Chains A and B, each alone.
Chain A
Amino acid sequence: MSTAAEPPASSAGDAALSHPLHREDVRALQRLDPGAWRTQLMARVRAGARPLTVYGRRDGDRVLLTAVLLGEGGFSLLRTSVHPAGGYHELTSEIPALHCFERELHEQLGVRVAGHPWLRPIRYQGKDQAAMNSYPFYRVEGKEVHEVNVGPIHAGVIEPGVFRFACFGEHVLHLEIHLGFQHRGVEERLLRKDPRALAPLVETIAGDTSAAHAWAYAAALEALTAPAGGAREASGGAQEASGGTQEASDGAAARARARAIALELERVAMHLAGLSGLAADVGFVPGASTYGRLRTTAINTTMNLCGSRFSRGAIRPFAQPQRGGLALAKLVQKNLTLLRTDLAIIHECFLSSRTVRHRLAGVGVVSADTARQLGLVGMAARASGVALDARSPGRGAFAAPPLDVCVEPAGDCLARARLRIAELSASLRWLELACAEGLAEPAAPEPARPLLPEQLAIAVVEGWRGEVIHCVETDEQGRVIHYKVQDPSLRNWMGLAMAVRGNEISDFPICNKSFDLSYCGNDL
């Protein structure tokens, strides 16, 4: 357990890192008893720390629960060991943001979470997939109440998922979202291979967030590796800062810059895709076609850098695989200039259209309070006035050139559209400045080194949708024993369900599009 007295093992404050990253010596991590774990977790959340994730892994016939919080002083971890049948008393009633983690613990590991108010399946893990059709939908009774079921198969090329509405006429009383149709057993698969060869698999966790997941994976793995200097398996200190020469840290900075470029290009491409979809859903032809056309420019730029339009292969641990060079930098600059000039016109056209504003304003409102309570992250939180961005305050690659963090207060569909527009501009500004300094030349991977034993690395990366979290833990021999993946969608789906309440059912598609969540990121 890391307390305030002990110097934090965290490298969150380290200037060389662009995103929060933390390595914890598991041997030094105290195993609290479930009661104390619960009390301390609650106390820290009340004191202002934000729960990043709560997850568990099997440990003999018991289950180890780990809570990761991020506060003013950096990361703090709480660990306990519970017996599945005994479990512990739920925390969701006190801290609603934990609802999805407790549901996952119950589903994944059979932990009894006594008194949980909404113990619904998250994704029907493993063998439970056969029980998919038995989802216990909440029913609203009443003569005039009718149910509308959408999915799991949808019109158009969209991922599968069930939306069950309880409606009174056109008015939505309740929406329940039943996912899990994309479950592929990602977390188990990640344990089957050499931890250094996981990048291609990690990039498919959520295919539209490849760069963010790959960076989180690479950061976690690099944090778990012994510094090149020797067997300095110390319990603390970030290796980038403590080990290596000036050249090594220059290499790390260039690598971080290249990774950040891939991440921001992904953000630009996905925001363009989202805005195009939103414009199409309200029937606004110029927006649908122009944003869609410009997305091609963005993903083609990514292809120029790494050979894939969907950022596959852009980020690899211990390496910088992207192409560099003056000619390429010029091409990228040209594309970015095209994006900036054309976007200025279409943003103006989209935002100044009265019919678009009429359609989006006041629809699907999530208040800042609700967003905080539900623990919404990323884009969905920022559009509700909650300034939550793992890239801020600007460190590492985001220190210079600086990156603006955008926040919109209104929390409706228009705010989410405006936020995406603002983030597009911010990311493009950053990209233009970053690419003006030239692109990093590719660097061959460093020779493989063993992973440190009994360490837990937590990497957070701000993907376009929100924070992507990878937690990787090693055993006594330095083998990976647990790999926990968390896509922002896991936490944000409940935000969509709440946003739709009290709205018209015909407005659901634009609410859904404005959140733009991942099904496979949730289903793993």
Chain B
Amino acid sequence: MKHLGFKLAAIFVILVLLAAGTAAWAAESGEKWHLLISVHNLDSEFWAQEAAGAVLFAESRPDVEYTIQPSNGDDNTLLQGLKDFIAQHGKRSIAVFDPSSAANTVNIADICEEAGVYYSLTWHLAEGLRPEDYKYFVGLFSPDDEVSGYKTASHLLEAIGKKGNVVYLHGKIGEDSAARRYQGMKRALSECPDVKLVDYQVADWDQEKAMAITETWLATKGPIDGIIAANDTMALGAIEALKKAELNGKVPVTGTDGIQAAFDAIKGGDMLATIANDGYLLFGYAAAYAYAAATGQPHEKGAFYTNAVFVTKDNVEQVIADYIKGKPTFDFSDLKFPILSKREIK
């Protein structure tokens, strides 16, 4: 009987300890913020960089845990993942998205507003959606594609003495980034009347297609003085075609995005310039803004263009050291740092 009492007391103590531990754990996990990082997928270097940027932010805050969800560019996958995440973490969720499509941002906004979850969007936005009109929509962040298109094209036109024949490799038709980069290139071109745009072709951001198109251009379009590509992957395809014709380094090529292979090509002299859109900065600060809003810290609300790094032979070594060999370090408490300019949403 004495033994039984002892056993019961022991069980009671264990149960009390377990309950206390669980309560403490629950209290502690209740303190945490859960960051949803929604990107297209991780097979593109840039998207992987975006995810890593938000992870950098999460790791800089002891009270933030993160989950990466690839949407594979599919609207439903993204929305289902978001709903599941909110069901799990409730109002302790914050979220940052590279949306699967501009149209889907309306659905994202609906779900987050209803659940009371602060969120930031990058790149795309449906028409009529403005952060100012929504309580939990913290901000829209993206580099200015028109400026990227303009800067890279201007640099190339300068390099060829503002005269001659150039060609343009276009991104996916119907995508906002592709259209704005093309507009930027056209603006640069309009400042150089002696340069002729011999042809532009859609290569869908794809290296193999860009290579095949450039091969055909080189065989049929006569002398080409410069190739402007809407992204680095297509620029690398063009460079491989130039290598085959032993023209690499002689015909300048520019791209946009800032992937490692492009930096290597710039270093090796095969590529003239690119713009590193800095996925680390974009997603890191998009997450920082959502966190600031959720925790009641002062922050500006709205749509913003973020800083990008123009990369040429002069600074490529430094960029490789900062972005490839290491990871950039940011002071996420300085929320003004990433902002290039305020963006007008029509």
Q: Do A and B bind each other?
A: no
B residues neighboring A (CB under 8 Å): none
